């Protein structure tokens, strides 16, 4: 670690200050280049950092879910989407040759006094063949009327919500008022099931899966 003490700024020392700054910038560039060239070391650091963030989120989730010891109708949940859409050609029986699309992204659910005030998703669909992917967004979700949403310990904090939503591709609304269900199982995993007819079978008659990263009960 290099530490430079800059002299008092005046006209006489402009040259010295400029030289010092140049040296420091040069050392920074060299350091970055060394880190970038050391692929294994940089990757290891990234993995450790990611694991720390994962552990932090897991611990927070445990603390939050432990507070659910009675029926609650006001809560928030956030998480990630980690799913795979597999399309097997009719003439194929081997899943290895199937066309696969990886779905990754985020989701959020807010419920206040038993009413869904917000449910949104934003996830990327990336084909395994490396072709260009596209972004899905589920917005404007409206739960069915007279449906009281609650978390209950007796049901292991599982819930099912049915309603309609708009689905966008790359920011453009493609399908409006799609019948859609959201299921949370044991405050750990989620399932999003858009109606296949309403979406032109875009999701291949398959559900979208994810995990709960955090559950906060008010």
Identify whether 2 is part of a domain: no
Residues 56 and 76 in one domain: no
CA angle 58/192/172 to nearest 5° reads 110
Has residue 154 been placed in a domain? yes
Is 208 within a domain? yes
Last residue of a domain, one of 46, 66, 86: 66
Say yes or no: 17 and 77 in one domain: no
166 in any annotated domain: yes
Domain boundary among 66, 85, 109: 66
Last residue of a domain, one of 22, 47, 66: 66
Q: What is the per-residue pLDDT across 149-187, written as a single tens digit (0 to 9) for each?
A: 999 888 888 999 999 999 999 999 999 999 999 999 999
Q: Which of 144, 143, 147 is nearest to 119 (CA)?
A: 143
C-alpha distances (whole Å) from 138 to each of 9, 131, 144, 174, 193 are 56, 23, 16, 11, 11
Q: 69-102 pLDDT, tens per residue?
A: 678 999 999 999 999 999 887 777 777 778 899 9
Q: Is residue 118 within 8 Å of residue 110, measured between CB atoms?
A: yes
The confidence score (pLDDT) of residue 68 equals 59
Shared domain check, 198 and 90: yes
Q: What is the pLDDT of residue 38?
A: 38
| Confidence check: pLDDT of 206 > 80 | yes
Most confident among 4-13, 20-29, 103-112, 151-160 (mean pLDDT) = 103-112
Domain total for the chain? Answer: 2
By residue range, what is the domain housing residue 92? 71-217
Distance CA 123, CA 102 (A): 10
* CA distances, 22 to each of 15, 51, 217 (Å): 11, 37, 53
- Residue 171 backbone dihedrals phi, psi, to 5 degrees: 85, -5
pTM of the predicted protein model: 0.68
Are 89 and 145 contained in the same domain? yes
Tell me if 1 is assigned to some domain: no
């Amino acid at each position: 670690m290099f530490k430079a003490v800059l002299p008092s700024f005046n006209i006489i020392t402009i040259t010295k200050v400029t030289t010092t700054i140049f040296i420091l910038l040069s050392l920074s560039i060299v350091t970055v280049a060394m880190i970038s060239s050391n692929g294994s070391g940089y990757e290891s650091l990234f993995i450790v950092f990611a694991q720390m963030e994962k552990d932090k989120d897991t611990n927070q989730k445990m603390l939050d879910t432990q507070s659910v010891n009675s029926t609650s109708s006001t809560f928030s949940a956030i998480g990630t989407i980690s799913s795979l859409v597999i399309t097997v050609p009719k003439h194929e029986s081997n899943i290895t040759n199937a066309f696969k699309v990886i779905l990754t992204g985020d989701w959020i659910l807010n419920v206040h006094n038993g009413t869904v005030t917000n449910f949104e998703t934003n996830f990327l669909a990336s084909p395994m063949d490396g072709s260009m992917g596209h972004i899905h967004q589920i917005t404007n979700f409206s739960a069915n009327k007279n449906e009281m949403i609650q978390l209950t310990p007796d049901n292991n904090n599982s819930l099912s919500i049915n309603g309609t939503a708009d689905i966008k591709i790359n920011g453009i609304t493609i399908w409006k008022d799609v019948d859609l269900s959201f299921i949370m199982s044991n405050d750990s995993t989620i399932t999003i099931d858009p109606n296949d007819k309403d979406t032109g079978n875009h999701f291949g008659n398959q559900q979208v899966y994810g995990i709960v990263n955090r559950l906060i009960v008010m």
